[in-house]
Amino acid sequence: MSRTRARSDTHRRTGTTRRVAQLALLMASIVLALVPSAWATTKPRASLTDIENDVMCTACHEPLAVANSPEAQSERNYIRGLIAQGLTKPQIERNLVAQYGEAVLGKPPASGVNLTIYILPPALLAVGIAILAVTLPRWRRRTRAAASEPGETPARPLNPADAERLEQELSHFRG
């Protein structure tokens, strides 16, 4: 009887151990699933070189990365201060717009009248493609029709003065 009891105790313990192991595995997988999302919510650190490429010098109207004026140095120092405060790139760009105006942005914001800058070129490209899609088949049909019927092209009669001059010119070669 003690063997049977020992076996049932062993099965009970292994069953409990398995459940504990499964629960631990489930908890570990939940923690691992949540950790990357916690890391993703951390703010990306802004860098001066990244911001310099997207911002203009307000004095010389060049990208801040290539500008070398006192105003450009002042903008760089202002950006360094904002980076030291731990601000993200969008926050720094908003501060720059508040400090220097929208002229500081390398790309205008996609709102209002500036939205046409982003919509117009693709729209013109689409219209051009549509026009070509309609007109190219027509041109090709006309070209094929003209090439297949060379004798069918109507010839205009020459006026008498041109006909006489042509005969005179041809007589020089015939003779």
Q: Tell me the two tokens of residue 145.
A: 């029709």
Residue 122: the pLDDT is 93
Neighbours of 75 (CB within 10 A): 24
Q: What's the pLDDT tens digit per position in 93-144?
A: 899 989 888 888 887 777 778 788 888 999 999 999 999 999 999 998 888 8
Q: Do residues 71 and 60 touch, judged by C-beta distance below 8 A?
A: yes
Residue spans of alpha helices (H) in the chain: 2-40, 48-52, 70-84, 89-100, 115-148, 160-174
Can you tell me the distance from the alpha carbon of 7 to that of 131, in angstroms, rounded to the nearest whole number?
A: 85
Of the candidates 116, 49, 107, 37, which has an alpha carbon nearest to the alpha carbon of residue 80?
49
> CB-based burial of residue 151 (10 Å sphere; 0-12 exposed, 13-18 middle, 19+ buried)?
exposed
pLDDT of 57 over the 80 cut: yes
Q: What is the mean pLDDT of residues 50-67?
A: 87
* Amino acid, res. 143: T
Would you place residue 161 in the very low, low, confident or very high pLDDT band (cuts 50, 70, 90)?
Answer: very high
Q: What is the mean pLDDT of residues 145-162?
A: 75
* Amino acid, res. 142: R
Model-level pTM?
0.46
Query: Between residues 41 and 59, which one has the greater pLDDT?
Result: 59
What is the residue-averaged pLDDT of the chain? 80
Sign of CA dihedral 66, 69, 70, 72: negative
